[in-house]
Structure 1
């Protein structure tokens, strides 16, 4: 006569399993399409260091950036970052930022530093150099 609840429940269960299977299949396809690391002719310590630098760089980059209250800074930071990225990492370069006081020069420099300092074995950000050196001398820096 009528249909029972059991066939409907079984049908719903089968659909849920198919949806889960499709999401697993999509995730596995995405993982399979990722490129790997070429480890031929490399020391294990070198490979580990490369992987660690890549992960640290990706993590750091995703967490460092311009806060929302820094209006108009993002484009300047991107311009400075493009200058940095076009330079060779084995070279020494200086980038000068100049302008009127209170226009965000230190903020731009700080955000850029936050984005790139992990590339170097040692780094330090010095802000307000003129004032600090005038008051406490260069040794304090």
Structure 2
């Protein structure tokens, strides 16, 4: 740093101060801790790589250009989800007349909390797509998105239910179904 301070001493924006500040921020981040005797190091590293790849590989979904008034409903839904709980399943339904911002709220929530889940899926236009292509199509999309694999092939609805249960067992998943009109 001394070397850089001398080199950039005349810099108006003072690059070195910016670098120092960034290094302090990085040094204060907490992360993963490996303890000897608690598994193999290569498994620990593999878990870190998978976790980070999952987070940086996920793109946020586009929300409305000018979302106004989302903070209060978002905090209400988050409290209903009880994300810190170890219970098996939490389900929250957002309903109301068309045009009041249900999808916008769901998109904003999805973007905000998606990194807390191992698998995520936002299925939009469920009513239309289930009528047009059937439930098997939706089940295939769901598994492809959550497992991040192409070519998942489900033949029937009952097989789809079984595969979803088997493949996602013990996996923390965020599933958003948009525009659902029946069970």
Please report the TM-score for the alignment, with normalisation by the length of structure 2: 0.47
Are the counterparts in 2 of residues 66 and 111 from structure 1 also a CA contact under 8 Å?
Answer: yes
Q: Which residue of 2 aligns with 1:9?
A: none
> Any unmatched runs of 5+ in structure 2?
1-5, 139-183
Cα distance in structure 2, aligned partners of 1:89 and 1:50: 22
Between structure 1 and structure 2, the one with the greater Rg is 1
Q: 1:80 aligns with which of 77, 92, 95?
A: 77
Query: Counting strand residues as a fraction of each chain, which structure ranks higher?
Result: 2
How many Å apart are 1:61 and its aligned residue?
9.0
Q: 2:9 aligns with which of 16, 29, 34?
A: 16
How many Å apart are 1:96 and its aligned residue?
0.8
The yes-or-no answer on 1:101 pairing with 2:94 is no
Structure 1 window deviating more from structure 2 (48-57 vs 100-109): it is 48-57
The yes-or-no answer on 1:132 pairing with 2:129 is yes
Query: Counting helix residues as a fraction of each chain, which structure ranks higher?
Result: 1
How many Å apart are 1:105 and its aligned residue?
1.1
**Aligned pairs, how many?**
127
Are the counterparts in 1 of residues 74 and 109 from structure 2 also a CA contact under 8 Å?
Answer: yes
How many Å apart are 1:100 and its aligned residue?
1.2
Cα distance in structure 1, aligned partners of 2:104 and 2:39: 40
> Any unmatched runs of 5+ in structure 1?
1-12
Q: Secondary structure at the match of 1:124?
A: strand
Please report the TM-score for the alignment, with normalisation by the length of structure 1: 0.57
Root-mean-square deviation (CA), in Å? 3.9
Q: 1:120 aligns with which of 118, 124, 136?
A: 118
Q: How does 1:14-53 map to 2 (within 5 A)?
A: 16=9, 29-35=24-30, 37-40=32-35, 41-44=38-41, 45-50=43-48, 52-53=50-51
Q: 1:128 to 1:24 in 2, by over 3 A?
A: closer
